[in-house]
A and B are shown apart, each in its own frame.
Chain A
Amino acid sequence: MGRHSRRASPLDVDDLLAEILLCLPTLPTSLPCASLVCARWRRLVTDPIFLRRFRACHWEPVGVFHTIFQSGREHLSFSFISDPPPGSILHDRFSVPARCQDAGGGDDVYTWNVRGCRHGRVLLINMPCYDRKVHQFLVWNPLACE
């Protein structure tokens, strides 16, 4: 693809650039990559209104939750459905322990359960195994690993 040179382009108009960037695929690297192009692109793709529209345009699920066993421990993990480009992101990168043990390494004392997803965030509830009372809530953004 050759270098593009002309006096004006739709990319110079915020509204049109937003329409173009809304069409980017839902790969986890799409918007981070766009935000590294220049400050104006970053401002656009981090705008909450743009992000709401982006989610509305791409309603397909981006990943699934599942439990995995790692080092003998059960983890609640998130995997992308779409294949990330090689070398850009790790599969099964985001996870939290599904079960926690007490300090003595005895039986599991509580478990994390997924209770719902909204706006790209997941609500997890930590329930002790012995009395099933809710102890902790965790709002998790698996894409940002927060």
Chain B
Amino acid sequence: MEVDKGKGEAEETRKVAEADRDTVTLKSSDGKLFEVSKEAAARLSTVLAGMIAGGSIDDNGTDLKQIGSEALENVVDYCNKHANSIPSAALISSSISFNTAPFKEPEEWERKFVDRLSHDALFDLVEAANFLGMERLLDVTCHKISEMMKGKSPDQIREVFNIKNDYTKEELEEIRQELAWAFYDD
């Protein structure tokens, strides 16, 4: 009995210790493990917040099969940088108020964070942010992609993003005429 009781207590202690841990471990599709602050994960990702609240976080690494290691590393990096960049008073605000805040221009560190990414890394990060319900990271990454379109002609946009032009010449001309108010006539 005493042994059982001891085991029970040990189990209880382990559970309490897990609940008290201030980080969560995430596992990428290719099996790499990353640790992230539980507070930042819950505040920045609605999906992770739900998993933490629902107790479905695996101590040995929560499987995120849709996210590769490079994208997950960037997600974790973003969470850590975000946690460091916010004054402690702001942490008191709930995740709901954060997620419903109106869009703000990316801050300087957020610009630098996305500027260093390659096309593929940026695109993977958009998909990861969308999958994890990270509204702010989604805003920042989408803003970066929209900046890549700025000042470019439709032809240049197609070239940069490898988009097929599915208009016929006639359709294109018709739309151009419809939108003539926005452009000088050639």
Contact = CB atoms under 8 A, between A and B. Distances in A.
A9 B142 contact: no
Contact of A36 (B123, B147, B175): B175
Interface residues of B, number: 41
A20 B145 contact: yes
Nearest to B103: A57
Interface residues of A, number: 41
Contacts of B157: 33-34, 37
A6 B103 contact: no
Contacts of A144: 181
A6 B130 contact: no
B148 interface: yes
B28 to A, nearest CB: 17
A36 B172 contact: yes
Contacts of B153: 33
Contacts of A38: 158, 163-167
Interface in A85-119: 85, 87-90, 93
Given A20-B145, A39-B171, 19 more contacts: A1-B160, A3-B159, A4-B160, A10-B126, A10-B130, A16-B130, A20-B142, A24-B146, A24-B149, A29-B183, A33-B154, A36-B176, A38-B163, A39-B166, A39-B167, A40-B166, A42-B175, A88-B182, A144-B181
22 contacts: A1-B148, A4-B161, A6-B119, A9-B161, A16-B142, A19-B138, A20-B142, A23-B146, A23-B147, A24-B146, A24-B149, A32-B183, A33-B157, A33-B182, A34-B149, A36-B154, A37-B154, A37-B157, A41-B163, A87-B184, A89-B183, A145-B181
